[in-house]
Structure 1
Amino acid sequence: MLLLLDGVSLRYGAQILADNVSAKIERGDRICLVGRNGEGKSSLLRLIAGRVDPDAGEVVRASGLVMATLEQELPADCPDSVYQYVAEGLGPIGQVLAGYRDTPSAELQAKIEAGHGWDLLPRVDSVLDRLGLDPEESVADLSGGWQRRAALARALVTEPDLLILDEPTNHLDIAAVEWLEGFLDTYRGALLFVSHDRALAQRLSRTVWDLDRGYLRVFRCQFERYQEEKEKLLEEEARNEALFDKKLAQEETWIRQGIKARRTRNEGRVRALQGLRRQREARRTQQGIARMSLDSGEVSGKLVAELSNVSFAYPNEAPLIRDLSFTLMRGDKVGLIGPNGVGKSTLIRVLLGDLEPQSGQVRLGTKQQVAYFDQRRDQLNPELTVLDNVGQGRDSVTVGGKSRHIMSYLSDFLFTGLKARTKVGALSGGERNRALLAKLFSQPANILVLDEPTNDLDVETLELLEKLLLDFSGTVLLVSHDRAFLDNVVDSCLAFEGQGCIREYVGGYADFIRQGGSFEQESKEEKLSESKGKPKPAEAESPQVKKKKLSYKLQRELDGLPALIEQLEGEVNAIETEMADPAFYQQEQARMQERLNLLADKQSQLEVAFDRWSELEGGDE
C-alpha cells in the first residue's frame, strides 16, 4: 500500500469537501477522480500530495513514498532552460547540478559530492531523452504541448511511486493529448488523475473515485462502467428521497390535524416526526444540473459560405490555407482539428468573411447572426460579476422569443444568489466557462463558433452541451481537442494535415482516424519517438500471425475461465438486485459502503477474467 485516507474530512468555509473519507492507493493503481465542478477534486489532490492538512482523520503514507504532481498551469513564463527547469524537480541539489552544467566550479562540485548529486545526474539525462526534450531550449519558447512535456519531465525526474495529475490535457492539441495518453499508458507507477477528457479517462483508469457532496465512493472498474453504475445509484437515490418526502409530508399533515387529533396523538410518533425533520435538514442535495437553451434566431440563408480554391498566408510566413474548396451549408456541424498554431482560427475568420484570402473566392450567405465562444474568455471582464457580464445592465433577456428575468436565466447555468454576484475573476475554470456560455446563449444566433468550449467543464455539463448542439438547428463551427466531444457532435471534420493542406472527412475524430487521416506533427513525433527509443503504443496483431499453442497449464486456466466468469456475473447480478431494493439505502452507511465496495471488487474481478480470457483465447502466451 502506498497511501491510506483514514476517515479524512476537509472543509472550505461552510462547504464540506470531504466527509469521513476512507480509501487507499496501491502500487500500480490507475485512479480517475471525478466530481462536479466545485466539489473539491483539486483540494483532495492537494491533501493527498501533502500540501494541505485534513480537518479530521489521517493520511497515512508508506515509508519513503515519493510523490510528484503535474499541475494544471503550464510553466509559460519560465525563463529557465529545459535542463534547469527539469533538474529543479530534484530540489536544491537539482539547482546545483544545473548550475554546474552551465558553469563548472570547485564549489559546486563539492556541493554535488556532499549531496550525492552525481548519482542523480543520469536521471535528468534519461528523462529528457525519453520525452524527446532539447535541454538547451528555453521553457518560455516552447509550445503548450512541449511545456506540458517539460512539466511531466520535472515530475518524473524524482522517479515517483505516485504521479498526481490535475487536468493534464487542458489546452493541449490532439497530437499532444494522444502522446501524453500513450506515455501514461506505459507508465509503471501509480496514477491518480482528474480529467474531463472522457477518452483519456476510459483508456487509463482501472478504478474511479467519485467525489459527490463530500462522500467518496470507490468503483473498481473502467470509466464507462462507472458512468452506468453511478446513474443507477442516482436513480435509486431519487426514488428513495421521493418516498421519504412523501412519508414526511403525511406525518406533517397528521401533526397539523384538529384539536381532537392533537389530544390523542402518539408521543412516539411525534418524536419520529422530529427525527424525520432532522434527516431532511441534513440531506445534502446534489448540485443542480445546468438547463441551457439556445435561441437560433432568424433562419440564415441555405448557403453559409462557399470557398473556391482559397489560399491564405500572413506576410513572410508559410501558407496556412492552400487551395481549399469547401461549402458550408445551414445546419452543418463541422469540427476543425489539428495541432495548435496551424490556422484553425484563421480559417474561421475566412469562412465568416472577416479575412480576405490572397487567392480564390469566398461567397457568403445571408442573414447571418454569429455567436463566438473564445477559449481565452476575453468576452468576460474579470472585475465584473457574472450578473454584470451577462446582463450588461439589463433586468431581463429574451431567449427563444420569451422574456426571462436575468437572475432566473442565470440560475439555469447554476449561478444563484451570491454566486451570480461573484466577480468572474474569483470563479473556477469550469464556472468561468459556464458564465461565458450563459453570455453567449443570451443572444440570438444562427451560427455558433466554439473555440475549445469543453475545458474545465464537468462530464454532466459536457453531455448537456453536446445535446444542446445536436438539437441546435443552426450551423456549428467547433474547434476542440476533446475527441469524444467531436465524435458526439460533428457531422464532418476539416483536418489541418500540414503545409496548408486542409481536407474534409465525414464524421468525427474516430472516423478521421479510421479513414487514414493524420497530422504532420504526428509523423514527426513518431520519428522522434523511434530515434529516442521511447515506447510505442502496441499495434494490433496482424491477421497473418499464427496463433500460438497454449501450454497444458494455460489451457487448463482457459478452460476454467467461462465458469469463473459465469460465477462472477451471478454475484454481480445478486448485489445489483439487492441495491434495487429501496431498503438497501435505509441501512447504516458503513454496511451500505461495504456492499458497494464488494460490488466494485467483483466487477473488477470480472473485468480481469474477461481480459484474461481474451488474452488466452488469442494465444498471446
Structure 2
Amino acid sequence: MPLLTLDSISLAFGMHPLLDQASLNIDAGERVCLLGRNGEGKSTLLKIVSAEVVPDGGTVRLEDGAVLAELPQNLPSDDSRTAYEVVSGAFPETGQLLSEFHTLAQQADEASLDRLMKVQERIEALDGWRLDQKVTAVLAQYGIDPDQRLNTLSGGWQRRVLLARALVGEPDILLLDEPTNHLDVPAIAWLEDALGAFRGAILFVSHDRAFIRRMATRVVELDRGKLISFAASYDQYLALKEKALEEEERENALFDKRLKQEETWIRQGIKARRTRNMGRVRALRAMREEHRQRRVRSGTASFAVEDAARSGKLVVEAVESGFAYPDGTPIIGDMNLTVFRGDKIGLVGENGTGKTTLVRLLLGDLKPTDGTIRLGTNLKVAYFDQLRGELDLSLNALDNLSEGREFIEINGQSKHVLGYLQEFLFTPERARSPVRVFSGGERARLLLAKLFSKPANILVLDEPTNDLDVETLELLEEQLAEFAGTVIVISHDREFLDNVVTETVFLDGSGKVREYVGGYSDWRRQGGCFPSEASGARPDRHDKATRTGKQGSGKKQSKSPVKGQSRPAPQSEPAIKPAKMSYKLKLELDQLPGQIEALEQAVASIRGRISASDFYAGSPEDVSATLEELEQKEARLEKTIERWMELEGQA
C-alpha cells in the first residue's frame, strides 16, 4: 500500500481549475521532485497534502499511523525563541513544558521552585524526558547551540534548526517547498547530506537543478492541472518531457486538421441547406467539445535585455582597496580587481562574507576605507534585488512597470506596456492585479520585466534564480550570455553560475578576494572550497554588510451515486415515428445559414482588430469591451450552428 495517495484531486479558484482530477502515489523511501511552471499550483498541492488547504474534490490518504512533517518555505521574520524552544515545539504540550522547565531551572526564587516541581511532575507523566533526550540529540547531531536565538542566525542556520524540528518527530514523509532558497552553497550541501541520510519519503518542490539531480529518485510534473509521473532521473526526465511535448504537438496538429476539415464540411452543408449524415454531425460536435476542453500549455516567457550605449572598456578598477566599518570590523581587505566591459562575474561565498558590500564598492555606492577604486565612463546600472524591494506591493503589475509610460523602448522598438508584460507571461487581466497577491515566481518575473525595460550596460543580479521556474531560468541564462554589457551575479545556484559567468570571484570571509577563470565548477576544480568545509560549520550571524545595504520595503463537487444503491432496470425505448417538421421550424432552418455567415464575418472582423499591433494601446475599457464582444459573438455563432445541426437532424 502506498505511503501517500492523492486520488482525483480537484481545486479551482474562480473559473480557473488549478488541479483537475490529479492523482499521485508515493511509496516509503521515495524522494519525489514536484516540478511545474510558476503558478501551476505546486505549493498549493503541498498544502493539500498537509491538510492546510481542502480540495474541492478527491481524497488524500496517508497510511495508517504514518507521520507527516514539513519544512516551511519562508523563514520566520523575527523569531526570538531559542533553538531548543523551536525544536521541542514539534511536541506541542511536552515541548512547552520542557522549555518552561529549562527557564525555571535557572531561577532561584521560591515561586519558581514551586512551579518547577509542578512542571516536572507533568513532564514525567507525559514521558517528556525521553522527548527531551531526542531534542538534545538532534540539536547535537546538527551542531546547533540549543541556547542560540533564531533571529540571530543566518538563513542557512535557521533552515537547519527548522529541519531539526521537522525530523525530531521521526516522520515517515517530509514536505519541502523550495528548500534551497536564500541558502549559500555550503548550507545547500549540508542540506543535501542531511536529507540523504533521512530514510523516510520526501516530496519536494525545487528549481535548483543541481539539488534536484542529487536528491530526486522520481520526477512528477504538474502540468495544466494533471500530475504526470516520470520514473527517471532529472536528466532522463528532460529528454522524456521533450519527446512527450513533440508527440502532443503532433497529435494536436492532426486533430486540428481533422476538425478544420469537418468544420468545412458542415459549413458546406449549411450553405446548401442539405441534410447531412447526422452521425458525422454528432462526431463533429464531440470533436468541438474535446477541443474546447483541451488545456493549452501556456506560452514560454520571451524577453530581451534593453542595451544602453556601451560603457568604456574599463568598468571598474580596485587597487589594494578595502572596507571596514567604523568599529574597525574588516569586510574587504587588500583587493585588487579589474572589471572590463563584457565581463560576466559570479560572486561566491558563504552568507556573511561581504558579497553585497563588494558589489556596492564596485558600483560606487560605498567608498573604500583603504586603497582606491576607479570607475569607468558611461556606466548605466540595472539592479535586481533579491528582496524584491523595487516592487510596490500596493500597485498592480502594470503601474509598477509603466511609471506613467504607455509605451517603452526595447532596443529601438516601441512596445505597449501590456504587450511587453505578455512577453513575461502576464495576461492583461493578471497585469492589472495587485502585486501583493502574486506568487514568488510572478514577482521575480515582474522584477525582471522592470529591470530589462530600462537601458543598462551593467546588470547586477542578487539571487535572481529564487522562485523562477526552470524554463524562465534557462531563458534568463540565454539573455545574459548574449548581453553585450557587463554582468555581476550573486548566486548560490551552481548550475546557473556555470551557464552564465566567465569569471568567479570568491570571498573567503576573512576579507580576502580571489579571482578564478570560469564558473562554479571551474572554481572547484582549481581547488576552491568554503572555509566551513575545512574547519567545520559554526552558527553565523547576519551579514552586517547586507543589513546596511538596500532593503525591500470553492466550489463543491457533486456527489456520486451512493455505493450499492439500486438502480431501475433499463427499459427498451419504443419506436417513435418522426413527426413532420412544422412550417415555423422550416422557416427558421432556411434563415440560419445567413445568420451563421454574418456572425462568422463579425468574428473575423473583431479578431482582425485584436491582432493589430496597437490594439492594447487603447483604453482599458475599450480593450475589455472588444474582448467581451468577441466572446459574445463566438458564443452566439456556436449556439446558432448547434441550432442548425439540431433542425437539420429533424429535417
TM-score range, shorter chain: 0.7 to 0.9
Q: How many angstroms does 1:9 deviate by?
A: 2.2
Structure 2 equivalent of residue 121 of structure 1: 132
Could you list the per-position Cα deviations for residues 350-407 of structure 1 after superposition, in whole angstroms to 9, with x for gaps in the alignment? 2222222122222222121111111111111110110000001111100010110110
How far 1:65 sits from its partner (Å)?
0.7
- The whole-number CA distance in structure 1 between the counterparts of 2:34 and 2:412 is 41
Please name the residue that 1:62 is paired with: 63
Question: Partner residue of 1:303?
Answer: 314
Distance in 2 (alpha carbons) for counterparts of 1:481 and 1:259: 63
Contact 2:321 / 2:369 at 8 angstroms: preserved in 1? yes
* Matches of 1:349 and 1:119, distance apart in 2: 51
Which runs of structure 2 are paired with 1:139-538 in the superposition (5 Å)?
Answer: 139-257=150-268, 261-525=272-536
SS at match of 1:327: strand
Mean Cα displacement is larger for which, 55-64 or 387-396?
55-64
1:50 maps to: 51
Counterpart amino acid of 2:457?
Answer: N
> Is contact 1:494-1:504 (8 Å) kept?
yes
Task: Measure how far apart 1:264 and its partner are.
Answer: 5.0
Q: CA deviation at 1:334?
A: 0.5
DSSP 3-state at the match of 1:263: coil
Instruction: Letter of the 1:408 partner, please give it.
Output: G
Provide closer, same or farther for how the CA distance between residues 458 and 260 of structure 1 changes in structure 2, counting only shifts above 3 A: closer
Partners of 2:271 and 2:45 in 1: how far apart?
55
Give RMSD over aligned pairs.
1.6
> Is the contact between residue 166 and residue 193 of structure 1 (CA under 8 Å) also seen in structure 2?
yes
For the residue of structure 2 that corresponds to 1:6, the secondary structure is strand
Asked whether the equivalents of residues 8 and 57 of structure 2 are also in contact (C-alpha less than 8 Å), the reply is yes
Stretches of structure 1 that go unaligned for 5 or more consecutive residues are 529-621
Quote the offset at 1:151 in angstroms.
0.7
What is the alpha-carbon distance in structure 1 between the residues aligned to residue 372 and residue 290 of structure 2? Answer: 68
Q: CA deviation at 1:344?
A: 1.2
- Code of the residue aligned with 2:63 in structure 1: it is A
> In the TM superposition, what is the alpha-carbon distance from 1:311 to its structure 2 partner?
1.4
User: Which stretch has the larger CA shift, 84-93 or 104-113?
Assistant: 104-113
Structure 2 counterpart of 1:348, one-letter code: V
Q: Per the alignment, do residues 298 and 12 of structure 1 end up closer, same or farther by CA in structure 2, a change over 3 Å counting?
A: same
Structure 1 residues 409 and 153, CA gap change in structure 2 (3 angstroms): same
Whether the 8 Å CA contact 1:71–1:166 is kept in 2: the answer is yes
AA of the residue aligned to 1:169:
T
* 1:449-474: CA deviation from partner (whole Å, max 9, x where unpaired): 10111111111111111111111111
1:258–1:56 CA distance, 2 compared to 1 (3 A) = closer
* CA deviation map 1:288-344 (0-9, x unaligned): 211111111211111111222111112114322211111111111100011122211
* SS of match in other structure, 2:428: coil
* Residue 35 in structure 1 maps to residue 36 in structure 2: yes
TM-score (norm 1): 0.83
Secondary structure of the structure 1 residue equivalent to 2:274: helix
Q: Structure 2 vs 1, CA of residues 526 and 392 (structure 1 numbering), >3 Å: closer, same or farther?
A: closer
- Hey, what's the Cα distance between the residues in 2 that align with 1:522 and 1:76? 28
Partner of 1:17: 18
Corresponding position of 2:554: none
Measure the CA separation in 2 of the matches of 1:527 and 1:37: 35
Deviation of 1:55 (Å): 2.1
Match of 1:577 in 2: none
Q: Matches of 2:520 and 2:270 in 1, distance apart?
A: 70
The amino acid across from 2:151 in the alignment is A
Q: Which has the larger radius of gyration?
A: 2
Looking at structure 1, the residues matched to 270 and 409 of structure 2 have their Cα atoms a distance apart, in angstroms, of: 52
Query: Given that residues 318 and 499 in structure 1 are in contact (C-alpha distance below 8 angstroms), is that contact kept between their aligned partners in structure 2?
Result: no
| Identity across the alignment (%) | 53
Q: Which moved more, 1:30-39 or 1:238-247?
A: 238-247
Q: Which moved more, 1:427-436 or 1:74-83?
A: 74-83
For the Cα contact (< 8 Å) 1:90–1:157, is it kept in 2?
no
Partners of 1:239 and 1:410 lie apart in 2 by 29
Out of 90-99 and 249-258, give the one that drifted further: 249-258
Q: What whole-Å deviation, never above 9, does each CA across 1:45-91 have from its counterpart, x for those lacking one?
A: 11112223332222221111111100011123112111111101112
CA distance in 2, matches of 1:437, 1:133: 37
| CA–CA separation in structure 2 for the residues paired with 1:258 and 1:61 | 56
Contact 2:348 2:490 in 1 (8 A): yes
Rounded to whole Å, the distance in 2 between the matches of 1:8 and 1:258 is 43
How many residues align structurally? 528
Q: 1:261, CA displacement in angstroms? A: 4.4
Cα displacement (A) at 1:260: 6.6
The aligned counterpart of 1:560 is none
Question: Could you tell me which amino acid in structure 1 is paired with residue 141 of structure 2?
Answer: R
Q: Select which of 103, 117, 120 maps to 1:106.
A: 117
